[in-house]
Structure 1
Amino acid sequence: MKIAVKFRYISIALHALIWAMVLLLPYLVSSAAHGYKIGPIPGYFFSLAGLIHLFIFYFNAFFLIPRLLNRRFWWLYIICSAALILGSFQLKYHMLAWWFPEVLKDLTAYKFVFAPSVAVFIISIVYRKVVDKIRQDREQQKIKTEQLSTELKFLRSQISPHFLFNVLSNLVSLARKKSDQIEPSLIMLSELMRYMLYETQGKKVTLDKEIAYLNNYVALQRMRFGTDVEIRYHTEINALSETQLIEPMLIIPFVENAFKHGIGYQAKPVISINLSLANSELFFEAINQFDAQSNSSKDGHSGIGLANVKSRLDLLYKDKYNLKIQQTANQFHISLTLQLI
């Protein structure tokens, strides 16, 4: 809103400056010795005619065109436009006849007297069309931005409870084992929830926060499975992670998917997760063993995470990411290359 108001004030100031220059042009480019003339036109008449042109411009641009230039009243617009131009001709003629009769004797001056009315009228039409096009584009962009924001809010609200359900399932598993890791697990869960509640409401977060979130999640999984699952987790980042921004909870659905489908049906499940950052380019890879027949019995919500992250990548990183999902009879491999700038 502040930007719109500022733009309006700038526009008004610009219009005032342009018309002030037009009205004062004879006194800027001519001299008293020449009667402030511009060609055959006296300076005083030039300024008075400028006021007529000003009226034609704004009356047509802000009254006739918005109200009459449509399918219903187009004929009335033509009549009013003709009346406006002819009226300006009559007014200029009488002004010359009263105050500058010598100009009427010079036929070459007529084109400098009457033609500007037509020119200003045409310019006002072009101005109105350009302004309407800019306003229309701005409104469409605003609608697209609002739609994008609404869709992103929906996707974020969708992924949070889905993720929380999986984490709580992990804690239930630890509780059944009466594990000593319950207390540190709850502390990590509180950190995860704090991140979801307070950090993911904005547009983007720094990459180091997203990685810290990922570290906590992997640590919870290590506590849950112990030596039953071999978790190969490696991150290679640099100082850029503190300044590079990323969509929150963008990576975690891939990691969730690896744990959800990579355990329970293998004798010695192995999950490999790699993440690195180089020159503002993020590379992520998740590999897990996969049994298509056994995993077909998974719940119907297991695809929410991947579909969600694909939608967000398309919305926020279009043409700036490369996602490959490869599935064989016994392995599921996801690789993502993402340009953060």
Structure 2
Amino acid sequence: MSDKVTVLVAGSWGTALASVLAANHSEVYLWTRNSDQAAEINKSHTNDQYLPGIILPSNIVATTDMESAVAGSKAVVIVAPSSGMRQVAHSLKQYWKEDMLCVHATKGFETETMKRMSTVISEELGIAEGNVVVLSGPSHAEEVVRHCPTTVVVASPDDKAAAAAQELFINNDFRVYTNRDLIGVELAGALKNIIALGAGLSDGLGFGDNAKAALLTRGLAEISRVGVEMGANPLTFSGLAGIGDLVVTATSQHSRNWRAGSMLGKGIPLSEVLESMGMVVEGIRTTQAAYAISAKLGVQMPITDQIYHVLFKDRSPRSAVESLMGRDRKTEMEAISQETWEQWHS
């Protein structure tokens, strides 16, 4: 069997995962639309726009030709931004083979349809959603590419597919667990970006650790509430894809979502924040999708609601915090439904 693996899109996370794969496999192809970026990776073994100062393994081959990138691969790892996932998956369709393993590592929704990434991929490739594996967990690209110890989860209802993805990635620096809860892992990875934006807002306002701890705790409850409503296992949100990824994304300056929130909290307009970032801030699109999802399902997401109004309705960050602090009195467990409580403790 071929030992070739393909990664689609050479952003920071795609490049970092290609680096992990290059330690395990003889051939790793990294597809990009940018010919200058491909030339840089092949000649200098760097991708300075996204991971400055990092030397990449020499067995990573970059190309702008998707056909040559995918041909003969045993697995394709899609790391496109959520806004571009459908287009990338559509382009992949003509080169797709049934015996290939499909893994995605994108944390977001398709904003227009509110669909998860595995749904988008399955629709475009014409495969069952259960045949798509999602990789998620606490994993800054800047640390993964430097071989810092990292632990993630791969999820699929198909045990063989999850085990194959685990085998694809796992090594001494990159530990991989399996999980059957595809929906929960995808939702946790996407929704925590909203709470990370909120944590950045809080820090930008100078509100301190007490406020951020409360935000993360109530944010996790909010994520779990909507996740269970959408069919996720509540225990998933206590794992790597849930609390693990939430903590790392909401507390680190590596996090684009935290940085964007911090700038907004300091009064910088959203347009200037996005211009200065230079990379996709998934939490912004995810906030739009989650706001619509909460309205559709009738599930309360008060933190998401306030961040949505900060991002898109010109509410000031300070006013948003005041609204959250002034909500009606509740018991801590009041917002958890009896059904969710029973699932959690069954």
**TM-score bin, normalised by smaller chain:** under 0.3
**Higher helix proportion:** 1
Q: Could you tell me the TM-score, scaled by structure 2's length? A: 0.27
Q: Could you tell me the TM-score, scaled by structure 1's length? A: 0.27
Give the structure with higher Rg (CA): 1
